[in-house]
Structures are given as structure tokens and as C-alpha cells.
Amino acid sequence: MDTGDRLLTPGEVAALFRVDPKTVTRWAAAGRIGSIRTPGGHRRFRESEVRALLEGEGVLDDLDGDANRPRNAGPPQNGSHGPTNAGLH
Amino acid sequence: MDTGDRLLTPGEVAALFRVDPKTVTRWAAAGRIGSIRTPGGHRRFRESEVRALLEGEGVLDDLDGDANRPRNAGPPQNGSHGPTNAGLH
DNA sequence: CGGCATTAGGGTAATTTGGGGA
DNA sequence: AGTGTCCAAATTACCCTAATGC
């Protein structure tokens, strides 16, 4: 498939970002990252979205000290794996 | 709308949710997801119901358009007549 | 008939959740 | 504003053996 709809657990995402799983949960609660809830209440994150977030901002790094850049200027619009909604006939 | 013609096996549903097949069985045992039992005792799940659970929340992704639009930060969790999604503890 | 992969069931450890406070 | 740590609880993951499905 195109985007690889693999789902990651909070622990996986936390390890990728080097933060605590709790922080990842906060991102999901704040709507900063898409999250899928299991019937049990646990969250799952898209591997493609996490990847876009990881690389969307790591390359453009200014060492000068300019702290005025938008935190979301990346092209993280991977939208494609959506169900297109047209699948229901 | 059709009531889901295709039936999925626990392994399929587990792969979709990135969980263990045993967990899917637990959902069915808890009544969180509809399940059809085979004469032998194995369970089968409706593809339409599983898809609705996966991410049927108003995440209607747009096929195309601007790639600079912030993500939909709306927290519209399962607002439908969800299958007893009262997983809040 | 035999065979293999998957599933069911019980039990225990690990992870995740939610809120509060630093 | 954002993150790390504390608590208690729930949910999930992995262990096993036997039965089912194809």
C-alpha cells in the first residue's frame, strides 16, 4: 500500500520521540496527532503520521537561535489513507 | 445500507487494530463488538462493524486540496450509537 | 483419513489510561 | 505552555493446552 497503515502503540511513539508515553497521550488529546481508539480505550497511532512528524521538522534546524519559526511549517499532509468515505456503497 | 456481507476472522481484526487476537476475542466476550459464532465455537466479525470502529469518527479526509491546512483538532469521539464504547474508567 | 494454521480458554506480567501536582 | 513523575485502575500481551477450520 502507499502509506503503510501500520499502527503504533504509545510506547513505540514515545520511544521514537524520546519522550514519555504520557506526553504522546497529551499530543493526541490536544489533537496534534491523529489517534485511533480501541474499544478498550487504548490509543493507536499511525506509523505514517508519526514518521511525517519525525522528519517534518528535523531537517530545518537553525542553530542561530531564531525562535520565531512556525512549529507546523512542515508538509505533513500525508492524507491519503483515509477511507475516502466512498467505500460504502 | 448493507449489513456487512464479509466476515473477518479474529486474526484479521487484530491486525487492523494492531492488537492481539485474544484481545479481539475479549471484546466480543465483553459485548463491545458484535460477533457471530460458528457451530464449532469460533467467532467471526462483520467487516462493516470493524471498519466503523476503526475510525468512523468524523475524520472525513479530503482527497485533495491545500496541503497546508492544519489538522482537524475536533475531538468528536465516537458520537454515533457506538457499540457500548463506554470504556471510560 | 491425516495434517497444519488459527482460535478458544485460563492465568499472569506489562502497558496504557486518567487525574493531580511538581 | 509544556514535560516528567506520582498514584490507582483498566486494558492489553504473552504463556500454556485442546478444539476447530480448511
Closest-CA residue in chain B for A77?
A: B67
Nearest to B57, CA basis, from B78, B33, B88: B78
Per-residue model confidence as pLDDT tens digits over B44-60: 999 999 999 887 665 55
Residue A13 in domain? yes
Block mean pLDDT (10 aa), chain A, length 89 = 82 95 95 93 94 73 46 44 42
**Residue A14 structural domain:** 9-55
C-alpha pair distances (Å), A25 with each of A3, B58, B77: 23, 20, 15
Residue B3 belongs to a domain: no
10 Å CB burial of residue B79 (0-12, 13-18, 19+) is exposed
**Closest residue of chain B to A30, computed from CA coordinates:** B73
Q: Is residue B34 in some structural domain?
A: yes
| Residue matched to cell numbers 471510560 | B88
What pLDDT is attached to residue B54? 87
The pLDDT value recorded for residue A1 is 61
pLDDT at B25: 96
Q: Which residue positions in chain B have pLDDT lower than 50?
A: 62-89
Residue B23 is predicted with a pLDDT of 96
Residue A33 lies in a domain: yes
For residue A77, give the C-alpha cell.
Answer: 499532509
Bridging pattern class, strands B36-37 and B7-8? unpaired
Task: Kindly give the pairing relationship between strand B7-8 and strand A43-46.
Answer: unpaired
Q: Report the CATH number that the domain containing residue B24 is assigned in CATH.
A: 1.10.1660.10
Q: What local confidence, expressed as pLDDT, does residue A74 receive? A: 40
Q: Is residue B36 part of a domain?
A: yes
Specify the pLDDT at position A8: 96
CB-CB under 8 Å, B67 with A75: yes
Is A2 inside a domain boundary? no
C-alpha A41: how far from chain center: 18
Q: Considering the domain boundaries, does residue A83 fall inside one?
A: no
Q: Compute the distance between CA of residue B44 and CA of residue B6 in angstroms, rounded to an integer.
A: 10
Residues A82, A34 contacting (CB under 8 angstroms): no
Q: Which three cell numbers stand for residue A35?
A: 489517534
Q: Do B73 and A30 touch (CB under 8 A)?
A: yes
Q: Which residues of A touch B (CB under 8 A)?
A: 6-9, 29-32, 34, 36-41, 44, 72, 75, 77, 79-80, 82-85, 87-89
How many domains does chain B fold into? 1
Handedness of CA B8, B11, B17, B22 (dihedral sign): positive
Q: Quick check: is A14 in a domain?
A: yes
